[in-house]
Amino acid sequence: MRVLMISKACLVGIYQRKLEELARLPDVTLKVLVPPSWNDRGGRVPLERVHTEGYDLEAIPIAFNGNYHLHFYPTLGRHVRAFRPDIVHIDEEPYNLATWQAMRLSRAVGARALFFTWQNILRRYPPPFRWMEAYNYRHAAYAIAGNQEAVAVLRAKGFSGPVAVIPQFGVDTERFAPGANMPDPASPFTVGFIGRMVPEKGVALLLEAMAGMGGDWRLVYLGDGPARAELEARAQAMGLASRVAFYSRVPSVEMPAHLRRLHALVLPSLTRPNWKEQFGRVLIEAMACGVPVVGSDSGEIPNVIGEAGLVFPEGDAEALRAALVRLRDDRDLWGHLAVAGRARVLAEFTHAQVAQKTYRVYREMLDR
């Protein structure tokens, strides 16, 4: 089984563990094409080569870098024709130009192709994106959805092929694990947010919730984005500069050390007309490290957390504050969620499990 994957997400080193797990499965010859970097809204994401055993990872030129809808790969045809894949795994939304490009090239060499989607809000696109999306729906042999709501969106938009719900990536539970530098229960209660610093992630709501907490606490923001400067200024104006720290994005392999310094990880996402939380990957990374998590009820967050964390109504700063106070003051609850979170990741969200589910999709595609 010759599998060609096109994925800008696989620039991130810790995500490449899934590729190693895929390459270990029976009869899989895997080649993964990535751009040299990706200009994300939170900043430039360079290629990290961390887990590269057993498969071929190659960087190829990208056009319109940073444009989600219009980027494509000028030399992709050459690679498809040279590799002659049985399956092309297009790690992109179906309305993107890169997906349409890869789908057409797949058909030209007789390969069966699938696309990946996170989209959990029903949105109609103007031409030419609507035309590209319709073409991809007609010719895809399979679709993988990252969350349950995305399946309903696909059906509403006319995709009639088979769909599997599989997270895009799992967690390396050896790298993301409890460690010696876990916080002392007697130290200041330390809460963290890790991710893109944008308003819809609820970063300002978290500051509001923490500002009303009594006792000795610290708040850590790790990430970059347009909301960061305003949030730093607000923390300063509120007299909280000594309690609130801001750090820029770090290499993915350094993330476990930052997570293990927290008493709690919060994802306070806010649904918008054009966006709601599609998964919340940082939740499962924190849970794997034995860090209790608190999330809003936006999008997929409650399904990710399950019974292994606390969920509050999105936009409700008082409810978020109450959840954090419970975690701080109830050591039994804190310990229970630390254990339950890791157990949930081990049961549902490892890279090996994601690879196995993806492999079953590949086998079904070939059998069909």
296 sits in which H/E element: strand 293-296
Query: Would 244 be classed as within a structural domain?
Result: yes
How many domains is the chain built from?
2
Are 147 and 279 in a shared domain? no
Whether the predicted pLDDT of 264 surpasses 90: yes
Tell me, yes or no, whether 201 and 324 share the same domain. yes
CA 3 to chain centre: 22
Note the pLDDT tens digit of each residue in 320-363.
999 999 999 999 999 999 999 999 999 999 999 999 999 999 99
**Could you give the C-alpha distances from 48 to 32, 37, 195, 217, in angstroms and in order?**
13, 9, 18, 34
> Cβ–Cβ contacts within 10 Å for residue 219, how many?
22
CATH of the domain at 280: 3.40.50.2000
Q: How confident is the model at residue 368 (pLDDT cuts 50, 70, 90)?
A: confident
Full-model pTM: 0.87
Is there a single domain that holds both residue 84 and residue 52? yes
Q: Is there a single domain that holds both residue 82 and residue 227?
A: no
Same domain, 162 and 264: no
CATH of the domain at 155: 3.40.50.11930
Same domain, 355 and 339: no
Indicate whether 337 and 224 sit together in one domain: yes
Check pLDDT > 80 for residue 229. yes
Q: Are residues 281 and 165 in the same domain?
A: no
144 phi, psi to nearest 5 deg:
-115, 130
Kindly state whether residues 328 and 361 are assigned to the same domain: no
Q: Residue 332: its pLDDT value, please?
A: 95
Q: Check whether residue 55 and residue 120 sit in a common domain.
A: yes
Residue in 321, 323, 325, 328 with CA at minimum distance from that of residue 212: 321
**Nearest C-alpha neighbor of 99 from the set 90, 108, 86, 89:** 90
Would 257 be classed as within a structural domain? yes
Cis peptide preceding 35, ω within 30 of 0: no
User: Is it the case that residue 268 has pLDDT exceeding 80?
Assistant: yes
Q: Tell me whether residue 182 is in a domain.
A: no
pLDDT of res. 6: 98
The verdict on residue 180 lying in a domain is no
Q: In which domain, by residue range, is 90 found?
A: 2-170+350-367
- Percentage of the chain lying above the pLDDT 70 cut: 99
The confidence score (pLDDT) of residue 179 equals 84
